[in-house]
Amino acid sequence: MKMNDMVIISVDDHISEPPDMFQNHLSGAALESAPKLIQDANGKDLWVYQGLQFPSVGLNAVVGRPFEEYGMEPTSLDQLRDGCYNVHERIKDMDVNGIAASLNFGSVFDFAGGRLHRVPDKDLAKIHISAYNDWHIDEWCGAYPGRFIPCAILPTWDMDATIAELKRVSAKGCHTVSISENPTCQGLPSIHNAYWDPFYAAINELDMTICLHIGGGNPAPHASMETPIEAWISTMPMSIAYAASDWLQLEALHKYPDLRIALSEGSIGWVPYFTERADFSNWRHKAWTNSRFQQMKPSEMFRRHFLNCFIDDAFGLQNIRFIGEDNIAYECDYPHSDTLWPEVPEHLWPTINHLTDAQIDKITHRNAMRWFRFDPFAHFTREELTVGALREKARAEGVDTTPKSSAGERPVDEGDDRPVTSGDIMKMFMRHEDKDRMSRVTTAATADA
């Protein structure tokens, strides 16, 4: 196999949703009360909903910008690459990057709908979750069948509504859902509580996959507000280990041997030590902990139930025998700052070409197809979805990958050459989440409506 022969499915990308996403799925009062994208006095885009405001974070959509302009500032859509919010332009950006298909997480409600747990009217939120899922499944994914893996969010504060939504989106052809890896952060019972039993049963019955995305619940820890931001960014993927350890102890994994869980944006290099440590801890402590692992090892359970997803992890790919060649899938992370767009194949190929063709196929697309019940070859031939074929298509369409410069708010003053810290970033967040501004933003949204 050569680089251009790869078929690459990305199991973790993101959308900066367009302002009209609810127009075709709601009407009347439901549409009037839906989230709205407005601009504040400084020209920054904000989603406003039920008295809350959700800023669009720049580091989540900096693809195509010069590296020196990366930052965490909220931005307006016109500062972003069109593929961040326009599905037709997204397909072009996938083509030029050699990406055959993509699973996309949303932004407006966060990766797992966590922001909706903060709104006062939960019944209204249930209406808007369903409308969001309809837009995501029918308009975004449905615009290009075979190129997107649908992923729904759920009203997990209401288990009856959650089960109903699971059944509804499953009937629409969506077989993947994103939930918080730690629902206690949203004021819900822990994943070990009987509250979740109907959820696990429904996921198993409907043969769906659960995505646990970093940042959907457990915060990525940082040492102090004076810690350089690079330290925080370096450890963010490994924060998924907290979720992995918790979910690995789930009783439902013993009850439902086919339950599938994807650890999204968590990478893979840490997995061999994690599973080794889990086995050691079980061996040394199961005699007194009433552990469910008396015969089966935790590492065996991990391989049975968990998919590990990576962006750039040469070490992990050198050690797949300790992870499992059936338990690894690729992520592009477009349009986040970690994305290697538009050069994914050039970065991926040198780290993976020591493997057999069968192993490469598993890691680049076969595992994604199996774990997410997704078959792009029902719509395209393999030859049409290779890196080479997609890039040839992009060249014919004249896709421009020139960096787009767009100056925005910076975390430190110009000329200040000290390292940007966690505290600098948190201050930026606080400025744009300022409660004193909330009434003004709400007023502006009402006027705009």
Q: Are 58 and 71 in contact (CB under 8 A)?
A: yes
Which residues have C-beta within 8 Å of that of residue 58, sequence separation ≥ 6? 70, 71, 72, 73, 74, 75, 408
Token digits of residue 190? 């822990």
H helices present in 137-209, as ranges: 159-171, 197-206
Token digits of residue 312? 């750039």
**15 φψ region: left (φ > 0), alpha (ψ -120 to 50), beta (else):** beta
CA distance 349 to 351: 5
Half-sphere exposure of residue 361: CA atoms within 13 angstroms, side-chain side: 9
Q: Are 210 and 373 in contact (CB under 8 A)?
A: no
pLDDT at 432: 54
Beta bridge partners of 152: 177
Q: Are 260 and 371 in contact (CB under 8 A)?
A: yes
Beta bridge partners of 421: 228
Strands 52-55, 45-49: pairing kind? antiparallel
Return the biggest CA–CA distance within the chain.
65
Residue range 3-440, CATH number: 3.20.20.140
Strands 328-330, 36-39: pairing kind? unpaired
Token digits of residue 440? 């003004």
Burial 124-161 (b: 16+ CB within 10 A, else e): bbbbbbbbbbbbbbbbbbbebebbbbbbbbbbbbebeb
Q: Are 249 and 192 in contact (CB under 8 A)?
A: yes
pLDDT tens string for the chain (449 positions)?
Answer: 999 999 999 999 999 999 999 999 999 999 999 999 998 887 788 899 999 998 765 567 889 888 777 765 546 888 889 999 999 999 999 999 999 999 999 999 999 999 999 999 999 999 999 999 999 999 999 999 999 999 999 999 999 999 999 999 999 999 999 999 999 999 999 999 999 999 999 999 999 999 999 988 888 888 898 999 898 888 889 899 999 999 999 999 999 999 999 999 999 999 999 999 999 999 999 999 999 999 999 999 999 999 999 999 999 999 999 999 999 999 999 999 899 999 999 999 999 999 999 999 999 999 999 999 999 999 999 999 999 999 999 999 999 999 888 766 677 777 788 888 888 877 776 665 543 333 333 333 333 33
Helix, coil or strand: residue 274: helix
Beta bridge partners of 230: none
For residue 34, what are the CA distances in angstroms to 182, 290, 443?
27, 48, 15
CA distance 373 to 101: 13
Neighbours of 1 (CB within 10 A): 16
Token digits of residue 129? 């979750």
DSSP state of 217: S
Strands 36-39, 45-49: pairing kind? antiparallel
Residue ranges covered by each domain of the chain: 3-440
Which residues have C-beta within 8 Å of that of residue 167, sequence separation ≥ 6? 202, 206
Half-sphere exposure of residue 371: CA atoms within 13 angstroms, side-chain side: 33
DSSP state of 365: I
CA distance 25 to 135: 7
pLDDT at 435: 39
